[in-house]
Amino acid sequence: MMTASARPVRALLFDLDDTLWPIVPVIQRAEALLFDWLREHAPAIPQRYTLTTLRERRMELMAANPRFQYDLWALRHAGLMEAFEHCGEDSSKIPHAMALFADARNQVTLYEDVAASLPRLASRITLGSLTNGGADLQAIGLAHHFKISLAAHTFGSAKPDPAIFHAACDALELAPAQVAYVGDDLRLDVEGAQKAGLTGIWLNRSGAAVPSDHAHIRPDADLRTLHELESWLIRTNGA
């Protein structure tokens, strides 16, 4: 469903994970590859932990340390450090383990509309990215489309904090009212953007209805593809 915005926009900010590519299979594969590496290079860890118990421990660490709410890289490093120490393994191997995970984490499969639509959008309007995740756009091969890229772990807070949206707008040298944010998450992306003064666009790839617990959130546009976003932009900006 397309809805017209009441104001033109001069830049689009994008969420990354689950907006430009699906993230669950990427993380599952990266964690499996890392666990296989641990079996060979730090075997005491897989003897004591499973993928599930390592993940559960990271959730406990996240709950105990506010930094880990926005710095997922530091969270994963802390989880590995604890596991290596508890199992008597050589922690000097951790940088290699993290590099292996990072390489796998950036091996994403773009949604089918991204490769064609993103360059067209970049030729029409300024693009930026704003993510709570740890994707490396340079490694993925998309960095050249974006004027600015901001991540929660480098900024120090995460969506839906208005401050990180405002920082991205400042980097674009635009007021929030001149910027639209495109993302898959109604609370973090749409409501977060709107509360910060941006236009909030829901990239609703599955065509889902707004869940009852989010019924108060009214996206400025409810779109299923980047092709629809292109059309929305033309309609909104009148060109």
pLDDT in tens, 97-139: 999 999 999 999 999 999 999 999 999 999 999 999 999 999 9
Q: E strand or H helix at 200, and its extent? A: strand 199-203
Sheet with 199-203, side-by-side order of all strands: 148-151, 126-131, 11-14, 179-183, 199-203, 221-223
Per-residue pLDDT tens for 14-68?
999 999 999 999 999 999 999 999 999 999 999 999 999 999 999 999 999 999 9
Confidence of residue 157 (pLDDT cuts 50, 70, 90): very high
Structure tokens at 20: 């430009």
Judged against a pLDDT cut of 90, whether residue 84 lies above it is answered with yes
Return the pLDDT at 238. Answer: 81
Confidence of residue 159 (pLDDT cuts 50, 70, 90): very high
Per-residue pLDDT tens for 221-239?
999 999 999 999 999 998 6
Half-sphere exposure of 216 (CA within 13 A, CB side): 6
Return the pLDDT at 224. Answer: 98
Go through the domains of the chain in sequence order and give each one's CATH number.
11-22+110-237 (3.40.50.1000), 24-105 (1.20.120.1600)
The answer to whether the CB of 101 falls within 8 A of the CB of 12 is: no
Average pLDDT, rounded, for the chain:
96
